[in-house]
């Protein structure tokens, strides 16, 4: 059986059953949840590897749940909704979802997108890392970056780097999605949280500190937007 656990959060039992059936055909483990409150309990007790998240939920909506999850981790999230306006899609993506599908949708297409997201998220982890659930290893052009997430320790080419809590959080955000261009506001939320009201230049200062500690770290500025961690190997394979 596939080791990945996919959580389906939707108050429509038909959609939950349909998505579950297609995922189980692909040998995924599933957790079907009717509300964001149930999903939050799932996160605390048995965190899934990916979320399929409806926006319109009773109680806490999908937007708020996505915001809460993003404070905790970069687990992939695909939002599904009957709302098909650009505003809704952009809001979902800005809050941290990785993809957005409009209802009614093709279950086969959803499964294909799930596979793609899981491949992008986990392709850089070694088998040993997956077993331990601790280390994230990236082979970058200039060297190897390793993050031991449970201990919040960072290594560059085998040598440990003394990083602060926020420096580690920024490294982790970059490492979990190499080549992705992060906006400054997005990095502020990921590292400082939603309640931070200071200047987005705090991100620039944090990146500058990391570059001093790891001179060859390929963090690039994206003009007028933010930053990305460049990983040439992934670009070539796309």
DSSP for 3-24? Answer: --EEEEE-S-HHHHHHHHHHHH
117 and 66 both lie in a single domain: yes
Of 104, 122, 140, which one is at a domain's C-terminal end?
122
What confidence score (pLDDT) does residue 120 get?
67
133 and 38 both lie in a single domain: no
The owner of tokens 């055909």 is: 25
Q: What is the CATH number of the domain that holds 224?
A: 1.10.10.10
What confidence score (pLDDT) does residue 107 get?
93
109 and 166 both lie in a single domain: no
What confidence score (pLDDT) does residue 131 get?
37
DSSP for 70-130? Answer: HHH----EEEEES---HHHHHHHHHHT-SEEEESS--HHHHHHHHHHHHHHHHTTS-HHHH
Which has the closest alpha carbon to 113: 53, 66, 183? 53
Of 69, 88, 122, which one is at a domain's C-terminal end?
122
202 and 118 both lie in a single domain: no
Structural domain range at position 149: 127-237
DSSP for 137-155? Answer: EEEETTEEEEEETTTTEEE
What confidence score (pLDDT) does residue 203 get?
87
13 and 90 both lie in a single domain: yes
Q: What is the CATH number of the domain that holds 72?
A: 3.40.50.2300
Would you give the DSSP letter of residue 200?
T
CA distances from 52 to 31, 44, 60, 153 (A): 10, 17, 15, 31
Looking at the structure of the chain, the number of domains it has is 2
**pTM of this structure:** 0.54
Instruction: Tell me which residues of the chain have a pLDDT lower than 50.
Output: 1, 123-133, 233-238
Of 96, 122, 148, which one is at a domain's C-terminal end?
122
């Amino acid at each position: 059986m596939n080791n990945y656990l996919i959580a389906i959060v939707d108050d429509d039992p038909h959609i939950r059953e349909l998505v579950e059936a297609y995922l189980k055909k692909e040998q995924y483990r599933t957790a079907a949840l009717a509300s964001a409150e149930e999903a939050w309990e799932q996160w605390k007790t048995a965190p899934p590897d990916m979320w399929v998240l409806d926006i319109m939920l009773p109680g806490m909506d999908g937007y708020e749940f996505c915001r809460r999850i993003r404070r905790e981790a970069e687990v992939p999230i695909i939002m599904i909704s009957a709302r098909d306006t650009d505003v809704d899609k952009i809001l979902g993506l800005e809050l941290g979802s990785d993809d957005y599908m409009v209802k009614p949708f093709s279950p086969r297409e959803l499964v294909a997108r799930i596979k793609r997201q899981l491949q992008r998220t986990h392709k850089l982890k070694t088998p040993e890392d997956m077993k331990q659930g601790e280390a994230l290893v990236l082979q970058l052009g200039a060297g190897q970056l390793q993050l031991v997430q449970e201990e919040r320790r960072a290594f560059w080419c085998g040598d440990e780097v003394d990083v602060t809590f926020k420096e580690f959080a920024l490294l982790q955000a970059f490492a979990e999605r190499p080549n992705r261009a992060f906006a400054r506001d997005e990095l502020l939320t990921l590292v400082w949280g939603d309640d931070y009201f200071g200047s987005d230049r705090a991100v620039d200062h944090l990146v500058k500190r990391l570059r001093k500690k790891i001179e060859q770290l390929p963090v690039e500025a994206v003009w007028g937007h933010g930053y990305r961690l460049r990983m040439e190997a992934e670009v070539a394979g796309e």
